[in-house]
C-alpha cells in the first residue's frame, strides 16, 4: 500500500492520498512505513541548492525512516547544461559539487536521476515492489537467529562507532530505542543495548524516562 500527498501514476497497486510526515510517497503496511520517497523536479533542486543547509537537514530527517530515497525528475546532464541552469545564477562546476555533496553527506540515502515524471514514478513503483518482496521473503525468526549466530560478526568497536555516528549525525534530539533497532536491523538487540549503555556512560545520550514511555535524548558534547 502506498500513501502519498501527490498522485502516483501507476496501476495495480492500492494507492491513496494522505498527509505524510515527510516525503511524497510512502510504502505502508499495517501503519508501519516500510519506505519513503521524496521527489524533486529540476526546478525544485535548483531552488533547494539556494538554501543548502536547509536541504541537507531535510534529507537528514528523511533518512530517519526505513529505505529512504530521493528521486529527481531530470537527468544529471540537465544540471550541467548552461542553458538550463541559467549561467547567471549557477555554473556547471557549482552544480557538480552540490550534487556530489548530496551523495557524500548522505550515503544511506538512495538518490536517483529519473529523467522525467513518468520514469521517476516507474522507478518508485519498482522500488516499493522490491522492498515489499524483500520484507515478505524474510526468514522465520528462529532461522534468522541461526543465521545471525553463524554469519561473520562485526567488531564491537565498529558497531559502537557506527551507532554513535548515526545518533550524532542523523537522529533527532529525542528518539526511541525502536528507532535505533529499525536503523540497525542487522545488529542484534543485545548488542545495541550494550552500545546505548556505553554511550550513556560517556555522557553522549541520556535515558529520560523509564518504562513504556521512555526515550533517549542526545546531550551536547563539551
What is the per-residue pLDDT across 56-91, written as a single tens digit (0 to 9) for each? Answer: 999 998 988 888 999 999 999 999 888 888 755 678
Mention the CATH class of domain 143-218. mainly alpha
Query: Given this model, what pLDDT does residue 11 score?
Result: 45
CA distances from 51 to 64, 66, 78, 184, 210 (A): 21, 25, 20, 31, 39
- What span, in angstroms and rounded, lies between the C-alpha atoms of 145 and 147? 5
Would you put residue 165 in left (φ > 0), alpha (ψ -120 to 50) or beta? Answer: alpha
What is the per-residue pLDDT across 139-198, written as a single tens digit (0 to 9) for each? Answer: 555 555 555 555 544 455 678 888 888 898 889 999 988 889 888 888 888 888 888 988
Is there a common fold for 2-136 and 143-218?
Answer: no
The whole model's pTM is what? 0.57
- The three-state secondary structure class of 168 is helix
Domain boundaries, the chain: 2-136, 143-218
Fold for domain 2-136?
Rossmann fold (3.40.50)
Query: Given this model, what pLDDT does residue 33 score?
Result: 83
Q: Could you list the beta-strand ranges (E) of 74-180.
A: 110-113, 174-175
CA distances from 178 to 27, 65, 92, 152, 214 (A): 19, 12, 42, 24, 11
Give the HSE-up count for residue 168: Cα atoms under 13 Å, Cβ half-sphere: 12
Amino acid at each position: 500500500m502506498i500513501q502519498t500527498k501527490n498522485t502516483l501514476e501507476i496501476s495495480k497497486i492500492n494507492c491513496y492520498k494522505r498527509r505524510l510526515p515527510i516525503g511524497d510517497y510512502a510504502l505502508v503496511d499495517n501503519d508501519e512505513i516500510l519506505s519513503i520517497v521524496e521527489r524533486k523536479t529540476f526546478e525544485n533542486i535548483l531552488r533547494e541548492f539556494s538554501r543548502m543547509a536547509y536541504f541537507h537537514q531535510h534529507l537528514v530527517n528523511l533518512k530517519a525512516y526505513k529505505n529512504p530515497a530521493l528521486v529527481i525528475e531530470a537527468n544529471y546532464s540537465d544540471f550541467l547544461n548552461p542553458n538550463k541552469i541559467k549561467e547567471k545564477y549557477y555554473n556547471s562546476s557549482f552544480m557538480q559539487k552540490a550534487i556530489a555533496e548530496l551523495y557524500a553527506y548522505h550515503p544511506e540515502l538512495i538518490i536517483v536521476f529519473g529523467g522525467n515524471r513518468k520514469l521517476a514514478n516507474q522507478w518508485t513503483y519498482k522500488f516499493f515492489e522490491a522492498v515489499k518482496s524483500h520484507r515478505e521473503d524474510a526468514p522465520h525468526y528462529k532461522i534468522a537467529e541461526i543465521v545471525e549466530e553463524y554469519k561473520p560478526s562485526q567488531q564491537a568497536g565498529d558497531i559502537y562507532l557506527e551507532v554513535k555516528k548515526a545518533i550524532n549525525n542523523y537522529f533527532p534530539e529525542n528518539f526511541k530505542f525502536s528507532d535505533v533497532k529499525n536503523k540497525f536491523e542487522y545488529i542484534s538487540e543485545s548488542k545495541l543495548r550494550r552500545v546505548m549503555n556505553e554511550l550513556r556512560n560517556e555522557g553522549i545520550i541520556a535515558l529520560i524516562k523509564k518504562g513504556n514511555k521512555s526515550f533517549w535524548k542526545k546531550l551536547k558534547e563539551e
